[in-house]
Structure 1
Amino acid sequence: MTGALDIVVLGLSITSSWGNGHATTYRGLLRELAARGHRVTFLERDVPWYAAARDCPDPAGVRTALYGSLEELRDRFGAAVREADAVIVGSYVPDGVAVGDWVLATARGLTAFYDIDTPVTLAALAGGGGGNGGTDYLAARQIAAYRLYLSFTGGPTLRRLEREFGAPMARALYCSADPALHRPQEVAVDWALGYLGTYSPDRQPVLERLLLEPARALPGERFVVAGAQYPDGIAWPGNVARIAHLEPPRHPGFYSAQRFTLNVTRADMVRAGWSPSVRLFEAACCGTPIISDPWPGLDSLFRPGREIVVARTAAEVLEVLTGMTAEAAAALGRRARTRVLAAHTAAHRAAELEGHLHAALARRAVPARPAPAAPAAPPSVSALRRIAKGTAAG
Structure 2
Amino acid sequence: MNIAFFASSLVSAYWNGAATYYRGIVRALHERGHHVTFYEPDAFGRQQHRDIDDPPWAQVVVYGAGTEAEVLRTVEQARGADLVVKASGVGVHDALLEAAVLQLQGPNTLVAFWDVDAPATLDRLHGDAADPLRALVPRYDLVLTYGGGEPVRSAYLELGARECTPIYNALDPSTHFPVAADARFEGALGFLGNRLPDREARVEEFFLDAAQRLPQARMLLGGSGWQDKALPANVHYLGHVYTADHNAFNCTPRAVLNISRESMARYGFSPATRVFEAAGAAACLITDAWEGLEQFFEPQREMLVARSGEEVAAHVAALDADAARRIGQAAYARVLAEHTYAHRAAQLDALLEGRSQPQEVAA
Please point out which of 265, 270, 279 is paired with 1:275: 270
Aligned partners of 1:342, 1:64: CA distance in 2, in Å? Answer: 30
Aligned partners of 1:77, 1:203: CA distance in 2, in Å? Answer: 33
Aligned partners of 1:258, 1:145: CA distance in 2, in Å? Answer: 47
| TM-score normalised according to structure 1 size | 0.85
Aligned partners of 1:360, 1:337: CA distance in 2, in Å? Answer: 35
The gaps in structure 1 that reach 5 residues or longer are: 369-394
For residues 63-212 of structure 1, the aligned pairs below 5 Å read 63-69=59-65, 70-78=68-76, 80-93=77-90, 94-108=92-106, 109-128=109-128, 132-133=130-131, 139-152=133-146, 153-162=148-157, 164-187=158-181, 190-212=186-208
Aligned partners of 2:355, 2:257: CA distance in 1, in Å? Answer: 37
Please point out which of 340, 349, 354 is paired with 1:354: 349
Runs of 4+ in 1 over 3 A off after TM superposition: 359-362
Is contact 1:155–1:273 with CA below 8 Å preserved after alignment? no
Q: Does 1:312 align with 2:307?
A: yes
Letter in 1 for 2:246: H
Q: Does 1:61 align with 2:57?
A: yes
Q: SS of the residue aligned with 1:8?
A: strand
The gaps in structure 2 that reach 5 residues or longer are: none
Please point out which of 15, 18, 31 is paired with 1:19: 15
Aligned partners of 2:245, 2:177: CA distance in 1, in Å? Answer: 11
Q: SS of the residue aligned with 1:155?
A: helix
Is contact 1:177–1:344 with CA below 8 Å preserved after alignment? yes
| TM-score normalised according to structure 2 size | 0.92
Shift of 1:59: 2.4
- 1:158-203 CA-to-partner distances (Å, cap 9, x unmatched) read 12211x1111111011122211121111215711001001112332
2:340: which partner in 1? 345
Q: SS of the residue aligned with 2:98?
A: helix
Is contact 2:104–2:111 with CA below 8 Å preserved after alignment? no
Paired residues, what number? 353
Is contact 1:161–1:170 with CA below 8 Å preserved after alignment? yes
Aligned partners of 1:161, 1:314: CA distance in 2, in Å? Answer: 33
Aligned partners of 1:334, 1:251: CA distance in 2, in Å? Answer: 18
Shift of 1:359: 5.0
Shift of 1:60: 3.1
Is contact 2:211–2:313 with CA below 8 Å preserved after alignment? no
1:242: which partner in 2? 237
- 1:9-49 CA-to-partner distances (Å, cap 9, x unmatched) read 00111121002212211112111111111111011111142
Is contact 1:212–1:236 with CA below 8 Å preserved after alignment? yes
Is contact 1:104–1:145 with CA below 8 Å preserved after alignment? yes
Is contact 1:169–1:360 with CA below 8 Å preserved after alignment? no
Is contact 1:34–1:62 with CA below 8 Å preserved after alignment? yes
Deviates more, 1:61-70 or 1:115-124: 61-70
Q: Does 1:217 align with 2:219?
A: no
Shift of 1:360: 4.0
